[in-house]
């Protein structure tokens, strides 16, 4: 059996590796170089504090891999577990926090609900006054996406994956009788396959069009800035999120901080072939001002060092679509900023679907495109 995986980012590479480990012949097609899409521009967050059970399960299954990654793959991904601290300004958000923590703890997550003033024990520079509640999990953290992709790439090659870079997919072939996908077309010719996996991230919509599939996934531009705060941010500080404004920051090395967020509502769709990969100056200034509103580190002497922009592949409820959406055509798309951290679990699910015809890792109904038609969605806040 041959499977073509389209997309050489962390999700595609994890899927290719997991398939090869199950004895499947895999060809991975990447239109550029490995990791040249969204993975290299990821902030690298890894957390269990989600508001839906399916995302918590994806996180826990993935963290099992991240924890043992150096031992399994031989690459140190600089996994730092300084925690995530979520902050609520609105009463409704604070009420959600209580329910979220209860659900997370049922799933084995060591999260806790805090009064805002108690959150200063984890983030000493925090101003608790604007907030009604906080949640904290000490085992959340972040890692280096580039190093993680390097580990997966090496392991995939050793497992026999045929990685073809500079190889765009120009068509998806389907049988005229039952509509089953039979392979893909590339500039180098046809690759016949029993399954095609769309792991193309922000380019997923274009591959769906070639396959004759219509799914609600769109590329959105997101930005991150690296700054030298007026007061250095301790490396022990958690990644801190002001959930109702969309602002967040986390420590970098030597007192620097990464500052980000999504402000002012949803962005228009962008062309993934034509977008600026540099953070906008006005946005960077706004991001620092937002952080300064609730953390004392970001005074007027804060200096901007650099920044970047990348693309999220976003669905209406900020959950991915992971399923066989047509005979022989599987999707692992629409992670809305969570693709890096959920890549290990997603790779396992794709391998389960191909080899076993199903998975017991998570309930795939929650990740099915049919949820939009059924109205069975639960929006996950689009944050780090």
Q: What is the pLDDT of residues 141-199, one digit of tens each?
A: 999 999 999 999 999 999 999 999 999 999 999 987 788 999 999 999 999 999 999 99
Q: Which two tokens stand for residue 109?
A: 């997550």
265 — pLDDT class (breaks 50, 70, 90)? low
What is the rounded distance in angstroms from the CA atom of residue 28 to the CA atom of residue 115?
48
Residues 191 and 94 in one domain: no
Domain final position from 269, 286, 312: 312
What is the rounded distance in angstroms from the CA atom of residue 249 to the CA atom of residue 166?
35
Domain membership flag for residue 71: no
Query: Which residue from 272, 275, 167 is spatially nearest to 217, judged by alpha carbons?
Result: 272
The domain in which residue 14 lies consists of 2-63+145-217+316-374
Lowest average pLDDT, out of 93-97, 171-175, 267-271, goes to: 267-271
Using the predicted structure, report yes or no on whether residue 40 has a pLDDT greater than 90: no
pLDDT for res 383: 75
Residues 304 and 235 in one domain: yes
User: In total, how many domains does the chain have?
Assistant: 2
Residues 296 and 347 in one domain: no
38 — pLDDT class (breaks 50, 70, 90)? confident
39 — pLDDT class (breaks 50, 70, 90)? confident
Place of tokens 């790779």: 347
CATH number at residue 224: 3.30.9.10
264 — pLDDT class (breaks 50, 70, 90)? low
What is the rounded distance in angstroms from the CA atom of residue 258 to the CA atom of residue 229?
10
Using the predicted structure, report yes or no on whether residue 268 has a pLDDT greater than 80: no
Residues 291 and 161 in one domain: no
Residues 56 and 155 in one domain: yes
Residues 324 and 348 in one domain: yes
Domain final position from 289, 312, 335: 312
Residues 191 and 281 in one domain: no
Q: Which two tokens stand for residue 80?
A: 């730092």
């Amino acid at each position: 059996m041959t499977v073509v995986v389209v997309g050489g980012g962390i999700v595609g590479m994890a899927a290719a590796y997991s398939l090869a480990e199950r004895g499947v012949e895999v060809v991975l097609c990447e239109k550029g170089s490995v990791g040249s899409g969204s993975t290299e521009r990821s902030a690298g967050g890894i957390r269990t504090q989600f508001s839906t059970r399916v995302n918590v399960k994806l996180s826990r299954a993935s963290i099992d891999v991240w924890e043992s990654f150096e031992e399994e793959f031989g690459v140190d991904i600089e996994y730092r577990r300084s925690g995530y601290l979520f902050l609520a300004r609105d009463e409704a958000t604070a009420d959600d926090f209580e329910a979220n923590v209860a659900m997370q703890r049922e799933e084995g997550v060591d999260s806790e609900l805090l009064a805002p003033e108690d959150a200063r024990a984890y983030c000493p520079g925090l101003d608790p006054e604007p907030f009604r509640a906080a949640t904290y999990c000490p085992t959340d953290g972040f890692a280096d996406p580039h190093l993680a992709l390097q580990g997966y790439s090496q392991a995939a090659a050793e497992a026999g994956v045929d990685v073809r870079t500079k190889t765009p997919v120009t068509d998806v072939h389907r049988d005229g009788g039952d509509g089953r996908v039979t392979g893909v077309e590339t500039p180098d010719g046809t690759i016949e396959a029993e399954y095609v996996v769309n792991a193309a991230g922000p380019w997923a919509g274009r591959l769906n069009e070639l396959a004759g599939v219509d799914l609600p996934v769109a590329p959105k531009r997101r930005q991150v800035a690296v700054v030298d705060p007026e007061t250095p941010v301790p490396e022990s500080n958690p990644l801190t999120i002001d959930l109702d404004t969309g602002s967040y920051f986390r420590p970098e090395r030597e007192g620097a901080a990464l500052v980000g967020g999504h402000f002012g509502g949803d962005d228009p769709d962008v062309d993934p072939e034509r977008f600026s990969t540099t953070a906008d100056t006005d946005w960077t200034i706004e991001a620092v001002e937002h952080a300064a509103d609730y953390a004392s580190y970001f005074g007027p002497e804060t200096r901007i060092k650099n920044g970047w922009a990348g693309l999220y592949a976003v669905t209406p409820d900020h959950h991915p679509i992971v399923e066989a959406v047509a005979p022989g055509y599987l999707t692992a798309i629409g992670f809305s900023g969570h693709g890096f951290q959920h890549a290990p679990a997603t790779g396992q699910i794709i391998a389960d679907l191909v080899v076993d015809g199903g998975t017991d890792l998570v309930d795939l109904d929650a990740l099915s495109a049919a949820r939009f038609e059924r109205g069975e969605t639960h929006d996950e806040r689009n944050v780090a």
